Structure 1
């Protein structure tokens, strides 16, 4: 499974990392703790039984059942604090000793009802920015008529951000397995007030007889194994990939947001650059640094907000996959063309589908993405059946369970993506045309077309 890297502010904690030996090493940061919790899942096969009884909870219990567990009574076991630049990122806090109705956090704030110091928060909206603190059940009941409207809004926001988390990781995995450019070197330089990364393309000497020949291994060896290296990996994975995102991840967006989404449109923007990547071909010609960048604009039901989904922002130095659309326009990218409805004649999907019959590299990659990307929703449904968790329930789980199930889903889809790529290879071996011989999937539908 692909490693999950998220921006943490490292803070000292008193937990111990999970270890099969009798002498676990001390865990110095929450980031290390999270990695230790996920290690057991990553080591299992994609179809392993990861129920709470068999794996997840024993690993969790091993982490918390150390000599330091006496210090955990009033501390959250898992926390995520965004940097100050990520204004709309949610803040997640989970306490395993919280009661059923309210979660207790170590973040004491005035009670929204009476003003007394309060640590309890509503379990349905506690892990998104803007939640209310409440001091007691009495205040919770008294404030419910007001809070229930806020709760629905915050829950919709939390769900939207969680969808972005899942699909971002799925897209990184997808792009890594469907990488289509041979790279021989990467060089970083300062360019005005931001970083510029030069990507030197390697010559490809193998004959392109089949569609599958247009895929190349991702150059892992060019990156250092640390957080900075992971950032540049992600930037390279999604370099020039926004058309792939808006064309082939649409079905997944519709499937995950079916209970919350009202409408969606494809939007071209001129991105703000904190960083950019520039391709250098084998003749030494330097490519453009700015291209049209495509995102989805999602309008939620019941006036719960309008959000920008951008799974390719890492190219320009932005890690957030979801942002309030007004905020996105101010800080990340301004629209430069009218919005397009999904599947309309001027949409990116329509242009991509028109290239399916081409006998060049563009047509080959379109056919590969059409087959592999077109199976993502079906594979997600298979995961739901095999693991007994549907997507709607996954999005509402407590934070630590959500993290575990999300990693299971991403690991499962990683396995299935590779399986479909192998299928294309086997189809192509018996197809002299090189187009694979596989059947194309029918066009998907949007929220308004279901």
Structure 2
């Protein structure tokens, strides 16, 4: 049976680490004067105090450093917000298994696998990141003319070796607070690139996520997201049980350059920012469902964009945008079936929006099929409607294809000089 080493202050904690204690239990809140590195195989946990509260382990900068086969549980860790609460630095061919449960953090959770490390397995259950600022870390995915900022939660296989694999499972994660979002992305999971080391995700289950990239207006080469499944990452299932909300410029709400088999949001997808897209897909998603509403309020903030890759089946309730240049649905590649159980509505006119790393002027079209876009079938059970001047409600450009479309309600364009339907393919509307 493993001996439990109980500690009540920083000196006792460092002594336990120096002695390579296998099981360290923190029983009182205290300040650590420097980051602490767990020995290989060590379990660090908190033990509830007399009033039932878990202790707070505080740091002036970075917090707990992982090595191999570590467990951290039942603890509040308060690092400096612009530093890392939990992170890894060690290189080993097999980093082993890591378990994290019942944790509340201030500061970033960062697990990055670098050259020399071929495998690791990370399991998370019940993680609350109250606040973190992840905008300044240099390891950033690059594609489509933009860099992606890391998240308050970051799991990243930064090893170019295609045989390297980071396996991860995430359940019950919450990030940020309403009107007090984390800075940078929220949840960020990535492989090395389209080629190279991979990150395989068994499951991601979230509660509420609130993020703000805090990018200046007009910046076109940086983006963030509430949830970003980046290239080289393949998730079997992603499920959101809370609202996903972004507040800043170029803050996507849900974004992927990777692959997701099943992606379901039970609550609302909300962007309050300029050029914030509710869901933007550059990867391959088999099945995507939003049971809540997609709502965007900022300039050029679109509802759903299919820029690259494809989706087999995608379903929404309502999509509503309120800003100028805020397209409801824009499809530029071939997809399978699109179903909207409610309506697609836009309120704005022509305005600036970020498109593949460039700021361009767009009209707030409700449903737009671009040249090169193709849809097997579209079903909108409610209305397709716009309010803005010089805006088309439903547009299929020359070179776009819609094989079948059914609209249960009305197609209307209420603004001056607006057009109801502009269909270069002349698809019958049922």
Bin the TM-score by the shorter chain.
under 0.3
Larger relative helix fraction? 1
Higher strand share: 2
Please give the TM-score of this superposition, normalised by the length of structure 2: 0.21
Determine which structure has greater relative contact order: mean sequence separation of CA pairs < 8 Å that are 6+ residues apart, divided by chain length. 1
